């Protein structure tokens, strides 16, 4: 069965410092992996996606993620946090087969302090 | 211009009542979804329609009935509401049945059952 595990429920950083949000996946096949962001009282927005092309994936707002098969990880990083990055982040795997059946991780709340 | 819009945004009702949440997308997408987000922010797919045809139907009580009058609309009707139905319900859409993983979400409808 495919699943994702987000290793931290809360991450707190200072503005201008690096961000690391950790995600491990479980999949029998080569997975399609995504990061979505949810700002307070808003819907979710796709940050970036990995679909078996380049292992380093760049997304919006300066975020990027690296697919590491040997570690079954897909961690999200950003070199320098901004106050506007404070949000809930979801690591997501797409089930094999047809259609966009997405399985969401439990989420990581990112807090950014001045 | 709101791409995926849901109404109402907030809904407070008593146990046992019947309520509906409406969703409309103006992106020209063929596929629409309903997701439920519980109090711990966990997101789970409920239903998906492609061109008015039900394609994903998770283990959801049959008190929940989706209806898609056309490919731009997917409504959710809930009968005999229970306390455990309290959650935020998100509508989403995607382009065709291509498994891109990119869903466009509405801002959510927060249902509170008293």
Q: Which CATH number fits the domain A3-97+106-113, given the four candidates 1.20.1250.20, 2.60.40.10, 3.20.20.70, 2.40.50.100?
A: 2.60.40.10
| pLDDT reading at B1 higher than 90 | no
pLDDT in tens, B44-93: 999 988 888 888 888 788 999 999 999 899 999 999 999 999 999 999 99
Hey, are the CB atoms on A99 and B42 less than 8 Å from each other? no
Chain B partners within 8 Å of A92 (Cβ): 101
Chain A partners within 8 Å of B40 (Cβ): 106
pLDDT in tens, B27-46: 999 899 999 999 888 899 99
Chain B partners within 8 Å of A98 (Cβ): 55, 97, 99
Q: Spell out where B8-103 has E strands.
A: 10-13, 19-25, 31-37, 43-50, 53-57, 64-70, 73-78, 87-94
**If you count residue pairs, one on A and one on B, with CB atoms under 8 Å apart, how many are there?**
69
> Where are the domains positioned within chain A?
3-97+106-113
Q: Which of helix, strand or coil describes residue A85? A: helix
Measured at the CA of B91, the angle between CA B88 and CA B94, to 5 degrees, comes to: 145
Q: A67 or A102, which is more confident? A: A67
CA A94 to chain centre: 13
pLDDT in tens, A12-63: 999 999 999 999 999 877 788 999 999 988 889 999 999 877 889 999 999 9
Which residue among A44, A100, A106 sits closest to B105, beta carbon to beta carbon? A44
- Residue B97 pLDDT: 55
Mean pLDDT of B2-10: 92
The DSSP secondary-structure symbol of A72 reads T
Q: Assess B38–A contact: CB distance below 8 Å, yes or no.
A: no
Q: What percent of chain B has pLDDT over 90?
A: 68
Q: Which of residues 1-30 of A touch B (CB under 8 A)?
A: none
Which residue among B4, B44, B56 sits closest to A99, beta carbon to beta carbon? B56
**Is the separation of the CB atoms in B20 and A88 below 8 Å?**
no
Hey, are the CB atoms on B105 and A94 less than 8 Å from each other? no
Pairing relation of β-strands A23-26 and A32-38?
unpaired
How confident is residue A98, by pLDDT bands cut at 50, 70 and 90? low
Q: What is the assigned CATH class of domain B4-113?
A: mainly beta
**Choosing among B10, B30, B37, B41, which should be mutated to test the A contact, i.e. which has the most A CBs within 10 A?**
B41
Q: What percent of chain A has pLDDT over 90?
A: 72
Q: Assess B25–A contact: CB distance below 8 Å, yes or no.
A: no
**Which pair of structure tokens corresponds to residue B60?**
């959801």
């Amino acid at each position: 069965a495919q699943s994702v595990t987000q290793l931290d429920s809360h991450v707190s950083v200072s503005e201008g410092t690096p961000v690391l949000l950790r995600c491990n996946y479980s999949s029998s096949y080569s997975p399609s992996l995504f990061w979505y962001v949810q700002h307070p009282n808003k819907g979710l927005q796709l940050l970036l996606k990995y679909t078996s092309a380049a292992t380093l994936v760049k997304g919006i707002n300066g975020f990027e993620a690296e697919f590491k098969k040997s570690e079954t990880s897909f961690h999200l990083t950003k070199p320098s946090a901004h106050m506007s990055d404070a949000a809930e982040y979801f690591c997501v795997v797409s089930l094999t087969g047809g259609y966009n059946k997405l399985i969401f991780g439990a989420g990581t709340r990112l807090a950014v302090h001045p | 211009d709101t791409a995926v819009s849901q109404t109402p945004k907030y809904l407070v009702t008593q146990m046992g009542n019947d309520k509906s949440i409406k969703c409309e997308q103006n992106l020209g997408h063929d596929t629409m979804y309903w997701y439920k987000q519980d109090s711990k922010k966990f997101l789970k797919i409920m239903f998906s329609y492609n061109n008015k045809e039900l394609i994903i139907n998770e283990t959801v009580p049959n008190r929940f009935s989706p209806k898609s009058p056309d490919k731009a609309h997917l409504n959710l009707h809930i009968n005999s509401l229970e306390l455990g139905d309290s959650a935020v319900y998100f509508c989403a859409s995607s382009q065709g049945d291509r498994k891109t993983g990119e869903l466009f979400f509405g801002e959510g409808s927060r249902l509170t059952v008293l």
